[in-house]
Amino acid sequence: MTKKEQFKAGYVAVIGRPNVGKSTLINQVLQQKLSIVSHKPQTTRHQILAIYHNPRGQIVFLDTPGIHNQKKTALNKQLNQTARSSAQDVDVVLHLVEAGQWHDEDRRAADITMATQASKILVINKVDLMDNKSDLLPFVEKILGDYHYDEVFYISALKNKQVNHLVDGLFKLLPESAPLYEPSYISDRSTRFFVSELIREQLTLRFHQELPYSLTVTIDAYEVKDNMTHIHATIWVEREQQKRIIIGRGGDAIKQVGILSRAEIENFIQSRVNLKLWVKIKSSWTDDQQALDGLGYREP
């Protein structure tokens, strides 16, 4: 068999309920931060294509919003639909589960996994956090009694334990193929998209108690001039009170968000950044499909 024939490449959808570590796992494999992370559900709102390049081949990960049973706003419905559609027409569906935790949302993710024609992998994450390791095997056996998976892996994505073993397993399941993307290509998303996500991450981390689900970010201007990247961004909320919270007394809160966001963006694009932030109101945007489309929630 020739070297070219041995090269593997394919698509891997990563699904699961919110906060099981999907984005953390993909960031760990790529050794680069492509998906923002927080402990709040719905942090990931878009399908993000992330490409892992290796001499053995390419793994094209599809990071997806968490499968959830939240109230049925237009945003909630779109997030679930994005996750479901991502599991179609891929080579492998990787169902991520938190060790010792199995809820209705995990069952929904398992049902979506079983409905595909792809190879199916069950990945038990956060095994390091399980107090009684002897409970792990019965926990997995209970899942396997109800659902059939081709492989089972045990990892800690955050601590990078057994992640390489999982990657090896994925390469075994992927088909022989020519490269799907150029080696310099790491995602289908633009730099502007990642910049908006880095700003939203800082907002989510700072205002996680008050309004993580009612805010989003758009990039209004992005220009490289005089060895500096100038970025103008708008933070959208649904009510006047939310706007006041983000701005803070004397503008202190939004100033701090700007400082932290600028540092993250500079690290990501490797350029000095001049960041300007505005806060605007778009009433009930989370339950308005037209508003969602206008704010960038129509999937490519």
The pLDDT of 150-156, averaged and rounded, is 96
Residues 6+ apart with CB under 8 A from 251: none
Give the model's pLDDT for residue 1.
38
Q: Is residue 86 domain-shared with residue 27, that is, in the same domain? A: yes
CATH number of domain containing 133: 3.40.50.300
What is the residue range of 240's domain? 191-294
- pTM value is 0.78
Give the model's pLDDT for residue 63.
81
> Helix (H, G, I), strand (E, B), or coil: what is residue 287?
helix
**180 domain residue, yes or no:** no
First to last CA, the chain: 37
- Taking CA atoms, 192 is separated from 207, 222, 294, in Å, by 23, 7, 15
The pLDDT of 106-111, averaged and rounded, is 92
Residues 6+ apart with CB under 8 A from 167: 29, 52, 54, 59
Give the model's pLDDT for residue 184.
86
What's the CA gap between 85 and 122, in Å, rounded?
19
In the predicted structure, residue 7 carries a pLDDT above the cut 90: yes
Tokens 């601590």 sit on residue: 159
Would you place residue 294 in the very low, low, confident or very high pLDDT band (cuts 50, 70, 90)? Answer: confident
Rg (CA), the chain: 20
In the predicted structure, residue 2 carries a pLDDT above the cut 50: no
Give the model's pLDDT for residue 43.
56
**pLDDT, mean over the chain:** 85
What's the CA gap between 13 and 25, in Å, rounded?
12
In the predicted structure, residue 81 carries a pLDDT above the cut 70: no
Q: pLDDT tens digits for 172-191?
A: 999 999 999 998 888 888 88
CATH number of domain containing 242: 3.30.300.20
Instruction: Select the more confidently predicted residue: 160 or 69.
Output: 160
Q: Is residue 130 domain-shared with residue 221, that is, in the same domain? A: no
What's the CA gap between 131 and 128, in Å, rounded?
8
> Helix (H, G, I), strand (E, B), or coil: what is residue 181?
coil
Q: Is residue 160 domain-shared with residue 23, that is, in the same domain? A: yes
Token pair for 37? 């992370």
